[in-house]
Each structure stands twice: as C-alpha cells, then as structure tokens.
Structure 1
Amino acid sequence: MKDSKNIDWIRTVPQKNRFERIEAFFHAHAYEPHRHDTYAIGRTLSGVQSFHYRGVMQHSQQGMTMVIHPDEKHDGESGTQEGFHYRMIYIEPAKIQSILKGKPLPFIEHGISQDPRLFKATDTLLQNIGNYMDVLEEEDAVYDLAMILNEISFPSMPQRQCFDYHAAEKAREYIHAISTQNISLDDLEKNTGRDRWSLSRDFRLLFGTSPHRYLTMRRLDQVKLSLIKGSSLVSAAIDAGFYDQSHMTRHFKQAYGLSPSHWKKVNQLPES
C-alpha cells in the first residue's frame, strides 16, 4: 500500500475471460467525464468519492455501494482534501444476462445504494485485490450480485417487449471472435439471422451499449493488457485493431477519462 497521500495510483488485476478488478487512490481530480460498457461496481474505502451522474453530483462514502450503469457518463474526484481510496470491479452486462436470461438490465437510480443486502453481496468481489479467488467462488458471487441487483433495481427498459436474446448473444460472441477486424451490421445480420436494426435494438437493450461501442471496448481491453505488458502505445493500438495511435487514444479517453499514457503511468500490478 502506498504511504504518500500525494501520489495517485491504480493497482489492477486483469483476468482474461473473467473480470477486471482495481484498487486505487486519488488525492484530488481523478477522471474526466467518460463512459464504459460494463457495470462499474465498487465501494469507497476511505475519504469521499464524488462524481457527476445523470446531471447530479453524487458522493460515495464508506458503507455505500456504487453501481454505475453501462454507458452512463460519469467522472471522478475527491470530495475532501484527504483524497479517496476505493475498489471497483467491472462486470460485463452479458455476465448478468447469462443469469437473468433476457430480463431488463438492473438499474440503480442514483449510481449509489445504501442497501445492506447489496453491500453484503459485493463482499467477495470487492475483497482485497491481492486475494486469490477460485472461479466457482467468483461465479457464485456474481450470481448473488445479479439476483440482488434485480431485486432492488429500477427497470432500465420496458418490461413487455419482444427481444431475441439468443441472436444478440450470438452477435456478441461473433464480435469477440474477430474484434481486430472491421465488422458491419451486415456481418452481424448474416451471422445471426436477425435483421440488422432489430438486432441493433436488442443488443443495446440487453447489453447496455451499441454493437460498435462494444467492439471498441473489447479493443480497448486488449490495449490495456498490452500496455501493462510493456508495449508501446503505437503497437498496442495497431495490435488491437485500431487504425492508429490517435484513433485509439481518442476512444481511450472517452472510455476511461484518462489518456493511455497517464493510465499506464499510474497503473501497477498488485504487490506480492
């Protein structure tokens, strides 16, 4: 753990095919307005974590649970002069949908909940970042989380509407398989048998974002992994399927509120 209250840091555990977990400290301003296509679920360990969410400044403190909905714009800063320390896990809506099977994505109205059931349900996922978790332990925790979120949330989409969950899931898997290539709605239509506009609508409602943005975020996942391994910005961008570094950087800032060079500077592997 860092002792200095003037040094911003992020410790991350990227786990392919599982979840990204981070623990971080920021002494003042943290993130510019940005949005990602996952749920960002976390808790503030010390200080006050302030962020704009749906036009209102929210303040997360100890005992609360943050639940940032996919594709909702937000930023981040310290609500006090002491800075803030927090843990966060990023969960793809597809993981929640694999449990809820096409139900409306759970939505927490203000991005913060004081429900003790939700706080307890996140204990396993938000434990010390250095702790090892068995796959089954993690999967059980995600199931418990999905069920609690579904129980306490406001609906994020109409309850009565016809959705083709299987076609949307097939499109999502197709994007994963060829994420470094250019993909069109025509490609997705041919792969799923679902007309492109219905598929595009279903994808947004079931997974919280558009097919193109989902593709972009999977490329950015690869960029982050490459940067952690020491790749240059140029190589990370090209290898992930972006046209060039500036193309990647623009999307990176929009997704994470930091430039890729700044993200790389403050990011660390967990201490042993």
Structure 2
Amino acid sequence: MAGNATLSLQHAVGGQHRMEAHLLGCQFAPHRHDTYAVALTLQGVQSFDYRGSERHSQPGGVVVIHPDERHDGRPGTCDGFRYRGIHIEPGRIQRMLGGRELPFIAGGTSTDPHLIRAVRVLLADYQRPLGELEFDDALYDLSTALNALSTQRRQLKPLDYCSAELAREFLVAHWDKDVTLACLEQVSGRDRWKLSRDFRALFGTSPYRYLLMRRLEQARNMLASNQAPADIAVACRFADQSHFIRHFRNAFGMTPGKWAGPA
C-alpha cells in the first residue's frame, strides 16, 4: 500500500453481516464467497473486476455480487470511496423464492429504483440492529427486486429444493466434521450427483465450498473474540495457520489480521 493508503472497516451491531467501509489508495484482493455481496455506494467511485470486465458504481448505485463469483474492489478515483454493504446467505433468499434458481444481476451493478429502495432499508439505520421480522421483510423486498431484474433464466431440469435444503442444514450443523457426498445423499434421500447439481443452482456454490465457508464463518466469529489465528486454524479444521490464512484471504479479500483490525 502507499503511505497514505487507508482501509477503514466497521462492522454493524446485530450479527447480520452489515458493514461500512472506506478505501483510499488500497483495494480488496481478488476473492469469492458463497454469499450475495450487496453494497450501496455512498461516496466516490466503487470499481471492481467482475466476469472479465471492469465495473463502476457511482454514489446512490447498488453493487450485487452473485455467490461464488470472483471479484475485487478498489477506488475508481484518487479520492477513494465509501460504501455500506451486507452479505446474505443464499439460503435466506431461497426461503423467499421457494426453490427457484438464484437471481443473477448482469454486470454486478444496478440503478433500479426498486432494488435501491430495498437495499437502503437494509443499510440505512446502520447503528441499530434490525429485528428478525423487520429483517425478513426487508429480505423479501430485496429477493423480489433481484428476481425481477435477474438475467439468468436458463431452462433447467426440475430442482429438488427440499432435498438440497436438508443437505444445507446438515452442513451448517456439522461444519466441524468430515462430510462426504455419500453422507449428504443419505441425509437428503437424493442421488448425490443430482443433489450436487441442485445445490449449485439453488445456493450458488458447491456443497464442499459451502462447508468451507461455514468454517471460515466460524473463524471470523473467533477472530472477533480475539482468539489467536493458530488456535482458530485447529478449531476450524484447517491443516495449519498458513492454510487458514490462504483460504480466508481467498474468501474475504484480506488477511485475518486486517479483517479483525487493531486489537
């Protein structure tokens, strides 16, 4: 980073993966995660590479990164940029959509007023945790806005949402165990390869990547309580600390130390 480079990252209270960030002279490394990353640009130009092209979001615009899509993030001008964002598990979106293929927003940016309105509800009152019913209402509005704008309308074979959801719930509950496709087949009652196909379409990533991200999510929680990275690596079933750091950076675009901030 340059001498005047700054990365300010503030996590909102409430455990709903909301945050506000200000980048000046620095950037997020290329990474991918199994959640939707939805951001409202507040100041400056929010630039990023996505699906082979450079994208830009101006103040008031919305960025929507589809689960498991590689991207980065940087200021589009020397003045830096500021945004508020939220990471949303596809499983929560699926509760609203009822088992349709996940919406995809072409280009990763939008100025659609319905989508912007839904995002503002989620991010405007930043210092106050959202109640569960309030949060679900806001997610419903966001899900319907995303679905209305989606450009991903492939003709797929019927998806077995119930079986995929059983597998997803099992992975959430057993993030600290060795899980195989054979195990998920038994849990869900669905042929393992059909289940794997359905899981990708419904939740935007593979069962293995979903399990890996649950471990990284646990690692973030442990970082927030100031536990040592070496201890976290062991507890979250990574081979060693360097293995943990590499996966963390690939998922979140920064090292565990940078994410945790000053002690």
Indicate the RMSD between aligned Cα atoms, in angstroms: 1.6
* Native 8 Å contact 2:14 2:128 kept in 1: no
Q: Secondary structure at the match of 1:29?
A: coil
Shift of 1:6: 4.8
1:225 partnered with 2:221:
yes
1:10 equivalent in structure 2: 9
Q: Secondary structure at the match of 1:154?
A: coil
Equivalence map 1:83-232=2 (5 Å): 83-155=80-152, 158-232=154-228
1:44 equivalent in structure 2: 41
* Native 8 Å contact 1:34 1:253 kept in 2: yes
1:236 equivalent in structure 2: 232
* Native 8 Å contact 1:48 1:78 kept in 2: yes
Cα distance in 1 between the residues matched to 2:149 and 2:236:
38
1:259 equivalent in structure 2: 255
Q: Given the alignment, which residue of 22, 29, 34 partners 1:25?
A: 22
Letter in 2 for 1:173: E
Cα distance in 2 between the residues matched to 1:216 and 1:36:
10
Structure 1 vs Structure 2: percent identity of aligned residues? 47
Letter in 2 for 1:11: Q
* Native 8 Å contact 2:199 2:206 kept in 1: yes
Letter in 2 for 1:237: A
Cα distance in 2 between the residues matched to 1:225 and 1:139:
23
Which 5+ residue runs of structure 1 have no aligned equivalent? none
* Native 8 Å contact 1:167 1:193 kept in 2: yes
* Native 8 Å contact 2:13 2:128 kept in 1: no
* Native 8 Å contact 2:37 2:86 kept in 1: yes
* Native 8 Å contact 2:43 2:58 kept in 1: yes
Number of matched pairs: 260
Question: What TM-score does the superposition give when structure 2 sets the normalisation length?
Answer: 0.94
Further displaced range: 212-221 or 239-248: 239-248
Letter in 1 for 2:47: S
Cα distance in 1 between the residues matched to 2:78 and 2:188:
52
* Native 8 Å contact 2:18 2:86 kept in 1: yes
Q: Deviations over 1:40-98 (max 9, x none)?
A: 01111101110001111111111211110001110011111111111100011111111
Letter in 1 for 2:151: F
Cα distance in 2 between the residues matched to 1:232 and 1:44:
33
Aligned in 2, Cα 1:115/1:78: closer, same or farther, shift over 3 Å?
A: same
* Native 8 Å contact 1:104 1:159 kept in 2: no
Cα distance in 2 between the residues matched to 1:177 and 1:91:
18
Which 5+ residue runs of structure 2 have no aligned equivalent? none
* Native 8 Å contact 1:14 1:225 kept in 2: no
